[in-house]
Structures are given as structure tokens and as C-alpha cells.
């Protein structure tokens, strides 16, 4: 039993208890996890649907947006990169963009390496924010929100419910004891 010698000691102890409670790990309930998984699913649908207006082999729908980015980006020097590197190699840019978005869509829809999908979607959305947020007819928060959704999906393991990650997590946990690659991959589920 602990007996405090002064009222000051009791205050310090109370502060310590309050601090440990405030910073204790938060465990989400089953309902919250399923809701987050559904959010992940529909975020994946968002990326999935954007594949259809810029389909290979010509990625035609993408071209006018890249041109718009070159005219309205707020990042100094980015317009130069778009005009002199991206646009002359448009097919390569289109293939990269389309593949990256497909990867994000598959990752989020199927909950497979979901946090990697979230991270990649954050990068893609950041690029859109930098290029398109201040273009005429655009609402800057559209791309801002897209970035924020990506950030949330890269820090919360939403694939652990209604996703392949619930199966992968256990296997990577076991393999992580001996394999460094598995330890690295574990972060993405």
C-alpha cells in the first residue's frame, strides 16, 4: 500500500494517472473497424472509377488535365517539369499514372496491403492538389480531402476487416520472426 506524505504528492500521483489514461492506446470496437473498412472500400471505388476515363492505350482523357496542371500549378518550377518532361513523354506518364491508380484501387477495394495503397493514394492526391487545386472551376478542397482520406488510410489498418490483410497480417507476423522482408511488409497491412 502506498501512503503519500503530503497533499502535493497526491496531486503528482493524480497527474501521472491522468497522463497514463490520456495516452493509453485506443482500441477500436468491432463496429468502428467495420465502418472504417467500408470507408476504405468506397475510397477504393473512387479511385477505381477514375480509371475508366483515361483507359489505355492512349490515356486520352488524362491529357487535358496534365495541360491544365502545367498552366495553374502553384508550385514554382513544376510547370516547367510538366511541359518539358511529362508532356513530351505523355504515354509513359499515362501508363505510370493509370497503373498507380489501378494499384491503389485494387489495394483499397480488396484490403490488400491497404496502408501501402493509402500511402500511394496520398502521393497521387498530393500531386493533383499541387497541379489542379487552383485551376478554374476546381474547388481546392476536393484534392485536399483526397489527400486527407489517403493519410487516414495509410495510418489505420483498415484492411484487417473485410479485406485480405486480415489473412496476411497473421502470416507476416509469423514470418517476421525470421524474415526481414516480412517485417517490412507487416507495416503495410
* Site residues for other proteins per CB under 8 A: 38, 41-42, 45, 48-49, 51-52, 55-56, 105-106, 109-111, 161-164, 166-167, 170
Q: Considering the complex, what minimum distance in angstroms separates the CB of residue 108 from other proteins?
A: 10
**Which lies closer to other proteins via its Cβ, residue 33 or residue 130?**
33
Give the closest residue to 44 by CA, choosing from 140, 131, 165, 129. Answer: 165
Q: Considering the complex, what minimum distance in angstroms separates the CB of residue 109 from other proteins?
A: 5
Helices (H), the chain: 7-22, 30-49, 60-72, 78-81, 90-110, 114-132, 140-155, 165-175, 180-186
- Helix 30-49 vs helix 114-132: crossing angle, to nearest 10: 50
The single-letter DSSP state of residue 84 is: I
**Which lies closer to other proteins via its Cβ, residue 67 or residue 169?**
169
**Which lies closer to other proteins via its Cβ, residue 106 or residue 126?**
106
**Which lies closer to other proteins via its Cβ, residue 81 or residue 106?**
106
d(Cα 164, Cα 150) in Å, to the nearest integer?
Answer: 19
d(Cα 30, Cα 15) in Å, to the nearest integer?
Answer: 31
Q: Considering the complex, what minimum distance in angstroms separates the CB of residue 82 from other proteins?
A: 27
Q: Considering the complex, what minimum distance in angstroms separates the CB of residue 164 from other proteins?
A: 7
Amino acid at each position: 500500500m502506498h501512503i503519500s506524505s503530503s497533499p502535493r504528492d497526491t496531486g503528482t500521483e493524480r497527474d501521472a494517472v491522468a497522463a497514463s489514461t490520456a495516452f493509453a492506446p485506443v482500441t477500436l470496437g468491432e463496429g468502428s473497424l467495420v465502418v472504417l473498412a467500408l470507408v476504405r472500400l468506397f475510397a477504393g471505388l473512387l479511385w477505381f472509377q477514375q480509371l475508366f476515363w483515361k483507359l489505355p492505350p492512349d490515356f486520352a482523357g488524362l491529357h487535358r488535365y496534365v495541360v491544365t496542371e502545367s498552366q495553374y500549378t502553384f508550385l514554382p518550377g513544376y510547370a516547367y517539369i510538366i511541359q518539358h518532361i511529362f508532356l513530351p513523354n505523355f504515354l509513359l506518364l499515362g501508363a505510370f499514372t493509370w497503373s498507380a491508380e489501378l494499384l491503389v484501387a485494387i489495394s483499397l477495394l480488396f484490403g490488400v496491403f491497404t496502408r501501402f495503397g493509402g500511402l500511394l493514394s496520398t502521393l497521387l492526391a498530393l500531386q493533383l492538389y499541387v497541379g489542379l487545386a487552383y485551376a478554374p472551376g476546381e474547388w481546392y478542397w476536393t484534392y485536399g480531402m483526397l489527400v486527407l482520406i489517403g493519410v487516414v488510410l495509410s495510418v489505420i489498418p483498415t484492411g484487417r476487416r473485410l479485406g485480405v490483410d486480415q489473412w496476411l497480417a497473421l502470416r507476416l507476423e509469423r514470418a517476421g520472426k525470421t524474415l526481414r522482408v516480412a517485417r517490412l511488409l507487416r507495416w503495410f497491412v
